[in-house]
């Protein structure tokens, strides 16, 4: 049984290891020779036309309303985990407690719903 710290170190090592693996893959790929620079080869593929415009424009994301609601829900989940862990020990009280909490949040969802925030714009 490893100590927590050892486990974190292990995970960190796996990140490095995976990156290394990818590096090896690229090395093998490289050993087959360099890619040949040719006209139009590196232009992003778009249905047989050379797209000349840079596409990095101010992109219109249509679900920002939902994204904002999501942030709130994400936040709330932070409380759910510790609650879930002690739930069986505490029992009914925990149920009511979290019931109130979720009810409050559900109100928020309903409000957003009523305002059409759940719809794509």
Partner 1 sequence: MTVFLVLVMLFAGAYLVAVLEGWTSTGRLRFAGPFWAAVALLGRESIVPRKPDRVLYETAPVLLLVSAVLAAAVLPLGPHLVIADLATGALAVNAALAYVMVALVMAGWGPDGAYAMVAGWRFLGQLVAYSMLIVMPITAVAMRAGSLVTTTIVESQAGIWNALTQPLGFVLFFLAAMAVCFLPPFDLPTAPGELAGGIEAEYAGPRLAVVRLARMVLVVSLSLAVTVFFLGGWLGPFLPGWAWTSLKTLVVAATMLTAGRYVPRLRGEHVMEWGWKLGIPLALVNIFWVGITLVLRSM
Partner 2 sequence: MITGARKGETSWLRRLAARASSKELAAFVVPGPEVARAFGLDLGAAGLRVVPSPRHASVLVVVGGLPEGLRDAASVIYAQMMRPRAVLVLGSDTASPLPGPDVSAPMDQESLSAAVARLRRAFAEGAWDPGVEDYAPEAAATETRYTCPMHPEVVQKEPGACPKCGMDLVPREVSSGESDGEEEEEEEAGELHHGSMDHGEHGSGGHEHMDHTDMGFMSMVEMTRDLQPSGDGLRMEWVEVPFGPLFPGLPGGLALTFTLDGDTVACVQSGSAVGRGGGCLQGVPVDDLLEHLGRIDPLSPVAYRVLALRAVENAAGVEPARATAYLGALEHERVVSHLGWLSSFGYLIGYEWLHRRAAGLQLALLRDDTGEGETLWGDLSDLLQRLRGATLLRRRLEGVGRLRTARAAEYPGPVSRAAGLPYDVRSEEKAYQDLGFEPAVQEGNDAYSRLMLHLDEMERSQEIVQAVGSVSAPDDLGVQDGISGEGDATVETPRGPARLRVRIEDGMVRSAELETPSGRHAQLVEDVALEHEVADALAGVASLDLSPWGMTR
Partner 3 sequence: MAQAFFTGFFGLAAIWFGVVVFRTSSMVRSALALLFSQAAIGAMFLAMQTEFLGVLQIMMMATEMAIMAIFMVMYMMDPGGLGGMDMTHQKRLSIAAGIFGGAAAVAVSLLGGWGTVGPSTMPEAQVAALGEELLGRSMLVFETAGITILTAMIAATAVAIERRR
Q: Closer to partner 3 at the Cβ: 28 or 85? A: 85
- DSSP string spanning 62-77? TTHHHHHHHHHHHHHH
Q: Closer to partner 2 at the Cβ: 64 or 111? A: 64
Tell me how far apart the alpha carbons of residues 69 and 105 are, in angstroms, rounded to a whole number: 10
Does the protein bind partner 1 through residue 111 (CB under 8 A)?
no
Q: Which residue has the tokens 């932070």?
A: 78
Cβ atoms of 105 and 76 within 8 Å: the answer is yes
If contact means CB under 5 to 8 A according to the sort of partner, which of partner 2, partner 1, partner 3, none does residue 24 touch? none
Does the protein bind partner 1 through residue 5 (CB under 8 A)?
no
Does the protein bind partner 1 through residue 75 (CB under 8 A)?
no
Cβ atoms of 62 and 121 within 8 Å: the answer is yes
The one among 22, 75, 100, 104 contacting partner 1 by CB under 8 A: 22
Q: What tokens were used for 81?
A: 């985990």
Does the protein bind partner 2 through residue 27 (CB under 8 A)?
no
Contacts (Cβ under 8 Å, ≥6 apart) of 44? 51, 55
User: Segment contacting partner 3 (CB under 8 A): 6-14, 18-26, 27-35, 38-46?
Assistant: 6-14
Question: Which residues would be at the binding site for partner 2 (CB under 8 A)?
Answer: 31-33, 35-36, 38-41, 43, 45-55, 57-62, 120-121
């Amino acid at each position: 049984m490893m100590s927590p710290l050892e486990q974190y170190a292990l995970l960190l090592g796996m990140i490095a290891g995976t990156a290394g693996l990818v590096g090896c893959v690229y090395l093998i790929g490289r050993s087959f020779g360099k890619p040949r620079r040719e006209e139009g080869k590196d232009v992003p593929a778009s249905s047989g036309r050379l797209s000349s415009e840079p596409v990095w424009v101010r992109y219109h994301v249509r679900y920002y309303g939902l994204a904002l609601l999501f942030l709130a829900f994400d936040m709330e989940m932070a409380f759910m985990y510790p609650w879930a862990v002690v739930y069986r020990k505490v029992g009914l009280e925990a149920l009511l407690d979290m019931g109130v909490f979720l009810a409050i949040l559900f109100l928020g969802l309903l409000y957003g719903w009523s305002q059409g925030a759940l719809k794509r714009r």
